[in-house]
């Protein structure tokens, strides 16, 4: 615990376990410096730590017990790995005197986490604790950030040693060379239809400002990579929308028509490229300038025209002195991209008395510009993705890995980090129930988050796929829900049901006011027609289209 304090840890998320009791006891020595947050289940604790890593750029810290605790927490580690989030998971472990006997709850964590963490190790000697923890912080934050897992055998924790502290870790940065920047500028100046995609981690307000100024000078529209909505201020005249699954047809075509794509901080994964079709692998149709902090990622999936090894902050700083050598003629390209994006913010028509499109648009205008929106996974997530204009770091917490149950723990973590910021969690009825027990954390620590539960009684995303592949044969995808409003009231919170569009604005205002005033959770249960599965899309429409495809594929007699 002393080493964590030296390296700047201010908060640890944990589910207590006897396997690391000395660590819990040591928190007594660091009251006021390290805040312990006692969670209800290890996946919730790991999600909270991952969210803190996203928000701060420093490793989020999580402690869990061995065996079941570690397996529960693994979802947070997987999220941190695919989302490139700095995080350190500490796991209590059986003592070395029992190791390799399949002792109670024993697991080899090197094998278990080997492919979902940057580094997995076990501290077998007490005197090496400072060394391992210093390395863990450095590994978690260097290059492409990610999770580190450290196992703590009981004999190590109960041992004693006299050893010097190590200094606080220093983050390393990768800076682009002057030749890199000159070549990149030349490629962009020669382009007719360039497009920039920003994503990844490590963004700051300053870095975003440099990128926006550069985009204005070089007349380049900017899109945010899949679920990296906070990486660019979407109020900017150069903001062109959210790139990835469910993007608008206009944005999809614009990417295909682009002759140069400048990708900064993003891996250009499956979701962002819509299955490697909008930007093809291994050889993109467009000239690709790929900027990424990890050299091993460059050229791994795409053959770039130019690869630049740099973290986003350093690259953004290097953009500041660049200007076009001659006047550019791309103003219409930028303005048309902006116009298409602004048009997409207008609510699409939807059936039923409660329009999720309208509700999402109302929330987008009613919530403060700096509000933090957290989302788990499901088709409901497409509503805040589409209709909210995100303004910068900390305004969106979303798992790019698409893991369910993330929204509520992330919202709690965000509110703990910044108690004055409005934090709203969007959650499907299935997604919410994966970690709803963390309402206990909101109650215990007086965390005033607002939760919007999208209640349609089905696993919506899977149902849409089921109708697409097996139309009219729905089975095993529906469930009966509890009274969510009664549930949140049992945790001391505020709850109400909204079933009509015209009732949503006032309900949201009441929920935000309660959460702010009482510092307890507030929940709005949105009950709506399950046929409206996504913006501009219905289950019945998906089913009819599938029937038509089947009929067209059936040979006529």
Residue pair 270/253 in contact (Cβ under 8 Å)? The answer is: no
Q: Give the start-to-end residue ranges of the domains of the chain.
A: 2-158, 178-344, 356-544
Tens-digit pLDDT string for the chain (557 aa):
999 999 999 999 999 999 999 999 999 999 999 999 999 999 999 999 999 999 999 999 999 999 999 999 999 999 999 999 999 999 999 877 767 766 666 789 999 999 999 999 999 999 999 999 999 999 999 999 999 999 999 999 999 999 999 999 999 999 999 999 999 999 999 999 999 999 999 999 999 999 999 999 999 999 999 999 999 999 999 999 999 999 999 999 999 999 999 999 999 999 999 999 999 999 999 999 999 999 999 999 999 999 999 999 999 999 999 999 999 999 999 999 999 999 999 999 998 999 999 999 999 999 999 999 999 999 999 999 999 999 999 999 999 998 999 999 999 999 999 999 999 999 999 999 999 999 999 999 999 999 999 999 999 999 999 999 999 999 999 999 999 999 999 999 999 999 999 999 999 999 999 999 999 999 999 999 999 999 999 999 999 999 999 999 887 65
Beta strands per DSSP E along 11-145: 11-14, 35-38, 60-64, 87-93, 119-122
Helix (H) or strand (E) holding 425: strand 423-428
Topology given in CATH for the domain delimited by 2-158: Rossmann fold (3.40.50)
Q: Which residue's entry shows tokens 């660590």? A: 23
67: left (phi over 0), alpha (psi -120 to 50) or beta: left
Report the CATH number of the 178-344 domain. Answer: 3.40.50.1220
The answer to whether residues 127 and 136 touch, using CB atoms and an 8 Å cutoff, is no
Instruction: Let me know the angle formed at the C-alpha of 54 by 71 and 347, rounded to the nearest 5 degrees.
Output: 105
Distance CA 59, CA 12 (A): 10
Q: Which of 234, 140, 260, 243 is nearest to 199 (CA)?
A: 243
What is the Cα–Cα distance from 385 to 245, expressed in whole angstroms? 11
Give CA torsion, residues 412, 394, 167, 162, to 10 deg.
10
Cis peptide before 282 (omega within 30 of 0): yes
Does the CA dihedral 141-144-145-150 come out positive or negative?
Answer: negative
Closest to 331 (Cα-Cα) out of 220, 214, 432: 220
In Å, what is the CA distance from 235 to each residue of 209, 216, 229, 414?
12, 13, 12, 23
Tokens of 454: 């999208």
Q: What is the DSSP string of 449-472?
A: -EEEEEE-SB-HHHHHHHHHHSTT
Tokens of 214: 């550069």
pLDDT of residue 101: 67
2-158 against 178-344: fold identical: yes
Task: Tell me what pLDDT residue 103 has.
Answer: 66
**What residues form DSSP beta bridges with 308?**
291
Q: Do 136 and 150 form a contact (C-beta atoms < 8 A)?
A: yes
- Longest CA–CA span in the chain (Å) reads 87
CATH classification for the domain delimited by 356-544, as one of 3.40.50.970, 3.50.50.60, 3.40.50.720, 3.30.70.360 = 3.40.50.970
Helix axes 249-257, 331-344, angle to 10 degrees: 160
pLDDT at 94: 80
């Amino acid at each position: 615990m002393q080493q964590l304090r030296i390296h700047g840890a201010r908060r640890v998320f944990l589910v207590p376990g006897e396997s690391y009791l000395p660590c819990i006891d040591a928190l007594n020595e660091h009251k006021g410096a390290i805040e312990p947050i006692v969670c209800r289940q290890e996946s919730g604790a790991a999600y909270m730590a991952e969210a803190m890593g996203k928000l701060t750029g420093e490793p989020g810290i999580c402690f869990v017990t061995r065996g079941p605790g570690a397996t529960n927490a693994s979802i947070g580690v997987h999220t941190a790995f695919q989302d490139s989030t700095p995080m350190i998971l500490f796991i209590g472990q059986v003592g070395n005197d029992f190791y390799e006997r399949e002792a109670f709850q024993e697991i080899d964590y090197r094998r278990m986490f080997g492919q979902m963490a940057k580094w997995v190790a076990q501290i077998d000697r007490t005197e090496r604790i400072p060394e391992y923890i210093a390395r863990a912080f450095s590994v978690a934050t260097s290059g492409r950030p990610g999770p580190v897992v450290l196992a703590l055998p009981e004999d190590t924790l109960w041992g004693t040693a006299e050893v010097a502290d190590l200094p606080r870790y220093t983050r390393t940065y990768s800076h682009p060379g002057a030749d890199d920047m000159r070549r990149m500028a030349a490629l962009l100046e020669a382009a007719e239809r360039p497009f920039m995609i920003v994503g990844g981690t490590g963004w700051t307000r300053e870095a975003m400002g440099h990128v926006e100024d550069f985009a204005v000078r070089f007349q380049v529209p900017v899109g945010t990579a899949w679920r990296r909505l906070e990486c660019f201020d979407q109020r900017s005249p150069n903001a062109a929308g959210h790139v990835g699954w469910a993007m608008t047809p206009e944005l999809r075509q614009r990417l295909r028509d682009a002759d140069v794509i400048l990708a900064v901080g993003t891996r250009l994964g499956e979701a962002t490229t819509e299955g490697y079709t909008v930007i093809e692998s291994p050889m993109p149709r467009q000239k690709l300038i790929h900027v990424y902090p990890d050299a091993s990622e460059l050229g791994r999936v795409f053959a770039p025209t130019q690869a630049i090894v740099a973290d986003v902050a350093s690259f953004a700083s290097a953009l500041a002195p660049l200007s076009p050598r001659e006047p550019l003629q791309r103003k219409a390209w930028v303005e048309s991209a902006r116009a298409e994006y602004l048009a997409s913010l207008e609510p699409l028509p939807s059936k039923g008395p409660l329009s999720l499109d309208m509700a999402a648009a109302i929330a987008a205008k009613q919530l403060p510009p700096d509000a933090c929106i957290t989302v788990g996974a499901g088709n409901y997530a497409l509503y805040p993705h589409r209709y909210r204009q995100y303004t910068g770091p900390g305004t969106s917490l979303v798992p790019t890995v698409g893991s369910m149950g993330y929204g509520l723990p992330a919202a709690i973590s965000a509110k703990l980090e910044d108690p004055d910021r409005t934090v709203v969690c969007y959650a499907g009825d299935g997604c919410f129930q994966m970690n709803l027990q963390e309402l206990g954390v909101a109650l215990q620590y007086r965390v005033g988050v607002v939760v919007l539960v999208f209640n349609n009684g089905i696993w919506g995303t899977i149902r849409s796929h089921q109708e697409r592949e097996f139309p009219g044969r729905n089975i095993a995808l529906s469930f009966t829900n509890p009274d969510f409003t009664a549930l949140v009231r049992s945790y001391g919170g505020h709850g109400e049901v909204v079933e009509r569009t015209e009732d949503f604005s006032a309900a949201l205002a009441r929920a935000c006011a309660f959460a702010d005033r009482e510092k307890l959770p507030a929940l709005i249960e949105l009950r709506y027609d399950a046929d409206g599965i996504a913006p501009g899309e219905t289950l019945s429409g998906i089913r009819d289209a599938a029937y038509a495809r089947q009929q067209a594929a059936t040979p006529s007699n």
